[in-house]
Chain A
């Protein structure tokens, strides 16, 4: 991202340059307040976008920074959602403590799972995350005495936030709540990835074998980031439960895992803001098309996915960054030295 004069500056200065807030970031976060003024009728949608953005951010931590592919991340989202719903159903409707408990519960599950995740890569990893997600979905479906099964969890009632703000029909409290939770976790994620720990993660993503060779064991790092990511996904699920006061099996669906992956890839991985931008575009587009048959909705998403993989390897944000750089007369990202793989293969045909 910020290519800070790396040759001369010491490591501390480099971190400081990376961590400094840029003006575009201030603009972005101020713009998130716009829905209160401009589109007050769409605050419920806005709060769902914030939830989705937090979920995408949690996936970005493991996929974009540590390079762990997950096809079952909805497991933690759903686990947090059901935990928050059950706490409220059992008579404790206080939102903030419910949020903390759900985050911890999802984090514990993530911690247990991380021991498995850290051992596998490639196809086995994809299959294990997929299987784990499906396993949890089937478990929630079967345990209908606890979760309500296919009918969803009934009787979720939230108390007013801080004892003052009731969750209203228009979603004013809901959006404030979701936005603040998103912002707090964004700050944590931003601090985390601009630390030596974040640097180590990127090293694992680029070359796990070499990281071990230089003495940085990768598995403890993977376990830590995976647990943190699970906490964040669980919190996102809990916010969804608390703001909508319903939980259904859809929170654990494979579709949700696939959607969040699509959102993150569309926005751009490994950029923090990629998931946020992707969530905004995806959710608004889906709201527009909500009248049509849901199966037709797959068409533009599928075409977008294919296009992103073939033409925009770094997502929308990566494409924008490239455009800005060419506009300034600079060369594209590493373009002069190594053109993107898809481009070279497109021009020369498949490599031998």
Chain B
């Protein structure tokens, strides 16, 4: 009993890390510009497909594809941000939702056209396969790698936001955009960089997710719901909140599927609805 609980906790933790990588960028950009970017998971999907293509067509090793996935997602996202998104910063929520969901639809169709609708295979290197036994527990090596990797990224992210000049500008823009502009901070360019970083992280998440949840064209829509839950529950612009919400969702989703398979995701949605009704701005959010 105890070992199964610990095993579920471990798997849920790894899954939560994945959700955190996928959603942290959206949380920060939403907090900064109030731009409802439903296409965030599309950038995750781009990262996933970049990794798959490089590994299967060009024979690159898995780890070497990760930086490329990050850069590709970041660059493509900036192109979209410059050409389309920035025209809608002052528009209604609905317009932003519609434009970005249109982008999701297009990306799903393009991915289906280029790669087909099948799950993409990924062959991990030997040192990431298999599992280790720790005191009766069986822990997947890849999941350990995922947790360590995501924790390092999180640490770097928090450090960059807390201790650098750029991080201070981003925090100022999230807290009060008008005031930040008034103080001479170039919010637009800070936002563009943040947007690229956030989308790059999503791309990284998408690449790392292939072995855990698979990759097919519906990825951009299927994980959108999870990412939105994490962002809404965690609170906009709060990295700690996003982290906590991702862990909560990852662990409770794993536990729900393991212990109550009959009711599926019902519990998750119920918990999310109650949390949002209790605190519309999210657990750690300060404003809606």
Contact = CB atoms under 8 A, between A and B. Distances in A.
Contacts, number: 137
A129 to B, nearest CB: 10
A120 interface: yes
16 contacts: A69-B93, A124-B276, A126-B93, A130-B228, A131-B272, A142-B266, A295-B117, A298-B108, A298-B112, A299-B106, A302-B106, A304-B102, A305-B101, A308-B98, A313-B95, A352-B181
B89 interface: yes
B277 interface: yes
B99 A310 contact: yes
Contact of A301 (B91, B105, B280, B288): B105
B265 interface: yes
Contact of B102 (A71, A119, A124, A309): A309
Contacts of B112: 293, 295-296, 298
Given A142-B263, A142-B264, A296-B113, A128 B105 contact: no
Interface in B248-288: 262-266, 269-270, 272-273, 276-277, 280-281, 288
A297 B109 contact: yes
Contacts of A296: 109, 112-113
Given A265-B98, A293-B117, 7 more contacts: A69-B93, A124-B276, A128-B273, A298-B112, A302-B109, A305-B99, A342-B87
Nearest to A136: B269
A292 B106 CA distance: 15
A341 interface: yes
A209 interface: no
Interface of A: 63, 69, 71, 116, 119-124, 126-128, 130-132, 134-135, 138-139, 141-142, 254, 258, 261-262, 265, 293, 295-299, 301-306, 308-310, 313, 341-342, 345-346, 350-352
B93 A309 contact: no
Contacts of A351: 90
Contacts of A346: 87
Contacts of B218: 295
B5 interface: no
B217 interface: yes
Contacts of B225: 130, 134, 254
A123 B102 contact: no
B84 interface: yes
Contacts of A141: 264
A116 B276 CA distance: 11
B280 to A, nearest CB: 4
Contacts of B103: 302, 306
A303 B106 contact: yes
A293 B115 CA distance: 13
Contacts of A308: 98
Contact of A305 (B36, B91, B105, B280): B105
A351 B88 CA distance: 10
Contacts of A309: 88, 91, 95, 98-99, 102
Contact of B277 (A116, A123, A261, A305): A116
B174 interface: no
A124 B99 contact: no
Contacts of B266: 135, 138-139, 142
Contact of A310 (B84, B117, B269, B276): B84
Contact of A306 (B84, B110, B273): B84
Contacts of A299: 105-106, 109-110, 113
List the 10 shortest-distance A-B pairs measured between CB atoms, nearest first. Answer: A305-B102, A302-B105, A299-B109, A302-B106, A295-B112, A298-B105, A124-B280, A138-B266, A306-B102, A135-B269
Given A135-B269, A295-B108, A310-B99, A123 B288 contact: yes
A351 B36 CA distance: 18
A63 B98 CA distance: 13
B70 to A, nearest CB: 25
A154 to B, nearest CB: 20
B102 A303 contact: yes
Contacts of B188: 350
A142 to B, nearest CB: 5
Contacts of B89: 350
B276 A69 contact: no
A123 B232 contact: yes
Interface string B119-143: 0000000000000000000000000
A120 B101 contact: no
Contacts of B265: 134, 138
